[in-house]
Amino acid sequence: MADLSCSDFQDSVCEYLIRHRSVLDVMSKFQEASARVNRAMAKAVTACGCLEIEAHRQKFPEDVSVEDLRRLVCSHLSGELCPECKEALETELGQTIFYVAALCAIADLDMNEIMVKEYDRIRMLGLFNLT
C-alpha cells in the first residue's frame, strides 16, 4: 500500500463520491474535516495531555545563518501523541485529504499535478516560501 499514488487515491475518492457530489457539499465537508483536525489536536493538549503547548515570541539574532534558523525555530509543542490521539489525528487528516481529493475531482484537477507544482514552487522559492 506504500506505493499508492495521489492519482490512485483521487480515482478511488471519485469512484465513491456519490452522496456528497455537489461542490457545495464537498467544500463544506472539507471545512468540517479541517475543523476536526484542529479539534483532535486541541484535545490531545486539553483532554488527554499527551501534548503541551508553550507558545512565546520567537527570537532570532540579527546575524543568524539559515542553517542556524532551522535549529532556533521551535514548534511550541512538546510531548508525543499517545496512540489514541495519534489515531484520532490520522483519521481526521485522512478525511481532510479525502475532501481535498474530492474537490480536485469535481473541479477536474489532478491532485498529483498540484502536489508536484507545489513541490517545485517550494524548491524554487526556498526560504522565500516562508510567507
pLDDT of residue 41: 96
Cα(6)–Cα(98) distance, integer angstroms: 11
Taken as a whole, the chain contains a residue count of 131
pLDDT of residue 98: 93
Per residue in 5-23, pLDDT (tens digit) is 888 888 888 888 777 678 9
CB 48 within 8 Å of CB 85: yes
pLDDT of residue 130: 55
pLDDT of residue 1: 52
pLDDT of residue 21: 77
pLDDT of residue 28: 93
| The CATH number of domain 7-12+23-129 is 1.10.287 | yes
pLDDT of residue 5: 83
Q: Which of 108, 96, 113, 112 is nearest to 31 (CA)?
A: 96
pLDDT along the chain (131 residues), means of 10: 76 80 90 97 97 88 77 87 98 95 93 91 73 51
